[in-house]
């Protein structure tokens, strides 16, 4: 049986396929794992998320209210937005990006010729940007209305890159992370399944060396744990 591709169907090359896997899966998986890890480390942040969900009418008696997960409702969750921003500031999945120099320029006394390929570091930018206070501290409130540390400069915060070639999927990625955070905050209790948190490596994306092992407990409408017939907890490695 022969296969005739549709005239408008684009078959990606091997390099293109790898790029799609990296951009659409690996980066989102990295950010999701970092989100879970930070919620495990900072239970007060998780509880504050729950309080926001309750105040916005999304979470009631331990359950997500039917029809409440609309885009406009999710966009109105300001603290959740701060949490996602802080996860991406501290644990940007990729370290940087490449650009082609369109016009010769000088930087710190060095001439960078037109046509050169240059790499910018997202991670170093976040670590050294003067607008961020206590850069090593996980502090979602830095993005709150009272501080808005990311608003003080154009290119101090760029987890999705910057300029005309910023990540095309950034809005979808943030929406996915917000939906995951809402699910974690509303329908389950979870805890680390190992004695200590795993070591983190940065290549090819930020991820735990041996995975992040987590135990999840389902919750009923009264926020009581739902046990299976054998009282076995659901374990997962992310």
List the CATH number of the domain containing 85: 1.10.630.10
Please give the C-alpha separations between residue 69 and each of 56, 75, 228, in angstroms, as whole numbers: 11, 10, 28
Whole-angstrom Cα distance, residue 122 to residue 50?
A: 31
Kindly report, residue by residue over 84-141, the tens digit of the pLDDT.
999 999 999 998 988 999 999 998 899 999 999 999 999 999 999 999 999 999 999 9
**Count of domains in the chain?**
1
The answer to whether residue 45 sits within a structural domain is: yes
pLDDT per position as a tens digit, 151-198: 877 789 999 998 888 888 899 999 999 999 999 998 888 999 999 999
Which residues does the annotation place in the binding site?
167
CA count, 13 A, side-chain hemisphere, 109: 0
Q: 76 in a domain, yes or no?
A: yes
pLDDT at 234: 47
Q: Exposed, middle or buried: residue 20 (CB in 10 Å: 0-12, 13-18, 19+)?
A: exposed
Residue 147 located in a structural domain: yes
- The reply to whether 127 falls in a domain is no
What DSSP line would sit under 71-87, residue for residue?
A: HHHHHT-HHHHHHHHHH
Q: Supply the range of the domain harboring residue 186.
A: 14-93+138-218
pLDDT value of residue 229:
44
Q: What is residue 223's predicted lDDT score, i.e. its pLDDT? A: 56
Q: Which residues are annotated as a binding site for heme?
A: 167
In a domain, 55, yes or no: yes
- Residue 187 falls inside a structural domain: yes
Q: Check whether 2 has a pLDDT greater than 90.
A: no
Q: Which two tokens stand for residue 79?
A: 């603290």
Mean pLDDT, rounded, for 209-229: 73
């Amino acid at each position: 049986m022969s296969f005739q591709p549709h005239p408008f169907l684009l078959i990606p090359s091997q390099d293109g396929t790898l790029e799609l896997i990296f951009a659409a899966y690996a980066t989102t998986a990295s950010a999701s794992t970092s989100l879970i890890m930070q919620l495990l480390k900072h239970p007060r942040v998780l509880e504050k998320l729950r309080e926001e969900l309750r105040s916005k009418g999304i979470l009631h008696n331990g359950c997500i209210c039917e029809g409440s997960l609309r885009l406009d409702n999710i966009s109105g969750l300001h603290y959740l937005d701060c949490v996602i921003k802080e996860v991406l500031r501290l644990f940007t999945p990729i370290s940087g990006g490449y650009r082609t120099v369109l016009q010769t320029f000088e930087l710190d006394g060095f001439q960078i010729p037109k046509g050169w390929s240059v790499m910018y570091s997202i991670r170093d930018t976040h670590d050294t940007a003067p607008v961020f206070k206590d850069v090593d501290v996980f502090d979602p409130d830095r993005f709150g209305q009272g501080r808005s540390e990311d608003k003080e400069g154009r290119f101090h915060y760029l987890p999705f890159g910057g300029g005309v070639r910023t990540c095309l999927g950034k809005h979808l990625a943030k929406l996915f992370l917000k939906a995951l955070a809402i699910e974690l905050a509303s329908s389950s209790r979870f805890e680390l399944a190992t004695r200590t948190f795993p070591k983190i490596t940065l290549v090819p994306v930020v991820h735990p060396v041996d995975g992040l092992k987590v135990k999840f407990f389902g919750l009923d409408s009264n926020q009581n744990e739902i046990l299976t017939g054998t009282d076995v907890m659901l374990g997962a490695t992310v």
